[in-house]
Amino acid sequence: MTAMDSRQNLTSPAVVKSLLQARGLRPKKRLGQSFLVDRNVLNKILDAADLTPPDPVLEIGAGLGVVTRELAARSPHVVAVETDANLISILRETLFGLDNVDIVKEDFLRLDLDRFLEERFGDRKCTVVTNLPYYITTPIITTLLEEKQRISRIVLMAQREVAQRLAAPAGSSDYSSITVFVRYACEVEIVAQVSRNVFYPPPDVDSALVRLDVRERPAVEPKDEEMFFRIVRASFGKRRKTLLNALTGSPELGLTKTQIEDALRTAAIDPARRGETLDLPEFARIADAITE
């Protein structure tokens, strides 16, 4: 493999097809493989990552390396995680000569992420860039935010409907527990709407590019963070029920109706409201009232 070979235009559908066909490979539907083949969208990903020279990068789902190569030009250290062994062999060619890239064959969700990030980056916070199968977007976000103290920013390609949930305002039909969970830890921005036609092969849905900037301090600071999230999960567990009934019937809380009524009164929340109408400070007030 020569340096010239390694600089093939990976935003060209013809080049991508040729790379795969030369090895007798096809994109694996069961892994949700769709490869970005559009330079404009690639530039938007890089702009959203907004890397400065000291920033290390964790890329989840490196694919054929189209994003990896550009990240490596902007960061001193890129760790590219890819689960497909067939793609690992291609990455060793497309990333040939890039000494600041570590290719890791691993299922990201099986990593001990805290240990992994410490081993790879030490005490430096990293930027995460990911274009993953949409069916595991929520577990990936959840896993990353559990280690948010090691991460400064997350740039992800998400199914458009998922992106709308992440950015949804309280009271809207897209507002959900994942909205609250992400907003608690991050500033959320939908950077761009992305057509399915910029991928090979095109997925069945359109996408959106989302940027999550991890907050220095959470959006609200309840007295008991775990209680806060228990309240959120219980409130969204039965969307059609009033807040009083949803919280009273929650096994996570195990509280009586009278206890819930008292807590809602203390928090100045109407018990007839539904959970999806509450903003983060209101969830925090309920959690604090129960904690106290």
Q: What is the CATH number of the domain that holds 258?
A: 1.10.8.100
Element housing 159 (H / E): strand 151-159
- Its domain, for residue 230, covers 225-291
Determine the pLDDT at residue 32. 84
Q: Is 113 within 8 Å of 147 (Cβ atoms)?
A: yes
Q: Are residues 111 and 241 in the same domain?
A: no
Q: Kindly report the pTM of this predicted structure.
A: 0.93
- Decide if 32 is inside a domain: yes
Same domain, 193 and 272: no
Where is the domain boundary, 214, 238, 254?
214
pLDDT tens figures, 29-85: 888 889 999 999 999 999 999 998 899 999 999 999 999 999 999 999 999 999 999
Q: Are residues 82 and 179 in the same domain?
A: yes
- Per the rule left: phi > 0, alpha: psi between -120 and 50, beta: everything else, 254 is left
Q: Is residue 110 part of a domain?
A: yes
Predicted local confidence at residue 2, as pLDDT: 43
| Rounded distance between C-alpha atoms, residue 154 and residue 146, angstroms | 13
pLDDT at 3: 41
pLDDT tens-digit readout, 211-259: 999 999 999 999 999 999 999 999 998 878 999 999 998 998 999 999 9
* Tokens found for residue 127: 């930027």
Mean pLDDT of 145-171: 96
